[in-house]
Amino acid sequence: MSKKIIGVLEGDFIGPEIMQEAVKILKKAAALYNHAVEIVPLEASGTAYDRYGCHLPPSTLALAGQCHALLKGPFGGPPEELHHPKWSGVEQGAILPLRKHFRLYANLRETKVWEPLMHLSPVKERIVRNVDVLIVRELTSGIYFGEKKERMLNNERVFADTEAYSESEIRRIAIKAFELASKRKRKVTLVAKSNVLKSSVLWREVVNQVAASYPGIENDYMHVDHAAMQLIMNPRQFDVILTSNLFGDILSDEASVLQGSIGLFPSASLGDSAFGLYEPIHGSAPSIAGRNIANPISAILCIALMFNHTFHCVTEAARIERAVRRTLESGFRTRDIFTGEDDPRLLLGTSEMGDRIAGML
């Protein structure tokens, strides 16, 4: 790859602020390792709506298709304006179509507990220490994309959604999960609800078939209700959790609690090629936007994931992760991870945190 082309969808509210820091780290890492990079700004969500009346203009999709990777900020508006058309259609109009258009069926969300921030966790230290769980969430099928129905029955409305999965949809993501586990602690836990859902029965069957090709990897199963409990009671038992779109949505947000701040977690959405979409798992936080106080770490860690999964540059990725860890170990904090015990002189704004991490690279 001669030049790495990265499309940037800034997102709303704190989006532009944190994306700027991610791009700062991207450029610095590229310079250190002699990568040529080109940044392509792409319009979507709020700003696109203001200009084009839609959240994902065709021009954005066309340009995005020419990039090697996409870096995406959070999309969405403030709670009190959710019914405004500028915001109400953002999920159906931009977030889901982006995933579907690029066939990004595998969403990777890693919950790692950072030692210097362990005190922030609502969960006790003896439980969260050394947690490292990777949730592999199916992202382009299931009840998010299944048939939706609205009908009248006995003079009242019945609204319905369909959770549907085909064998191939399950197989391709199961393979991803087992491949990822082979580079980690070699355990995959399928989470589903096979005592109630027919689709879960198919998940179990296909995952068992796939597992047969990975004899060195433990193949475990857990019902989703039990998993929601075990994630907090004993998270170290998990390595890779493989699950559906809906269960992955719930469990990955739940798992992020273990660290105590949602401002730290990146995610990767991947398909069959190296192309990937990288984004923080948190929202656009309108209430703190424009004040240079948002935490850019989730966005910066997106760059590490991008080097890993799209560019296969593990050294660069590890170096970014290490720079983040050292910055935290040195006591630097943004407001969301600052407590009374921290040194107020080490409290940084968004861009200063980006500078610090860049300096540590």
Ligand X SMILES: CC(C)[C@H](C(=O)O)[C@@H](O)C(=O)O
Structure-token match 């879960």, residue found: 200
Clarify whether 225 is annotated catalytic.
yes
Shortest CB 135 distance to a copy of itself, Å: 12
Clarify whether 355 is annotated catalytic.
no
What single-letter amino acid sits at 131?
Answer: V
Contact call for residue 162 and a copy of itself (CB under 8 A): yes
Shortest CB 156 distance to ligand X, Å: 25
333 DSSP 8-state letter: B
C-alpha span between 157 and 224 (Å, rounded)? 29
Binding residue for a copy of itself (CB under 8 A) from 34, 159, 183, 341? Answer: 159
Kindly list the distances between the CA atom of residue 268 and the CA atoms of 98, 99, 201, 271, in Å, as whole numbers in the listed order: 13, 11, 27, 10
The active-site residue, picked from 105, 165, 239, 249, is 249
HEC string for 58-95: HHHHHHHCCCCEEEECCCCCCHHHCCCHHHHCHHHHHH
> Which residues of this protein are in contact with ligand X, per CB under 6 A?
91, 95, 195-196, 225, 249
**Residue 114 neighbours by CB distance under 10 Å:** 18
Shortest CB 169 distance to a copy of itself, Å: 9
What single-letter amino acid sits at 6?
Answer: I
- CB nearer to ligand X: pick between 196 and 314: 196
- CB nearer to ligand X: pick between 283 and 349: 283
The active-site residue, picked from 132, 253, 342, 355, is 253
Strand ranges across the sheet with 132-138 = 36-41, 3-9, 69-72, 276-280, 266-270, 106-112, 132-138, 240-243, 187-192, 218-223
Contact call for residue 341 and a copy of itself (CB under 8 A): no
C-alpha span between 361 and 351 (Å, rounded)? 15
- CB nearer to ligand X: pick between 229 and 346: 229
C-alpha span between 279 and 254 (Å, rounded)? 18
- CB nearer to ligand X: pick between 12 and 249: 249
Clarify whether 342 is annotated catalytic.
no
Contact call for residue 39 and a copy of itself (CB under 8 A): no
Closest CA to 269 of 251, 250, 255, 248: 248
Binding mask 277-316 for a copy of itself (x = CB under 8 A): ----------------------------------------
The active-site residue, picked from 193, 214, 239, 278, is 193
Shortest CB 321 distance to a copy of itself, Å: 24
Clarify whether 343 is annotated catalytic.
no
The catalytic site residues sit at 144, 193, 225, 249, 253
List interacting residues with a copy of itself (CB under 8 A). 91-92, 96, 121-124, 127, 143-144, 146, 148-150, 153, 156-168, 193, 195-199, 201-202, 224-226, 228-229, 232-233, 246, 249-254, 256-257, 262
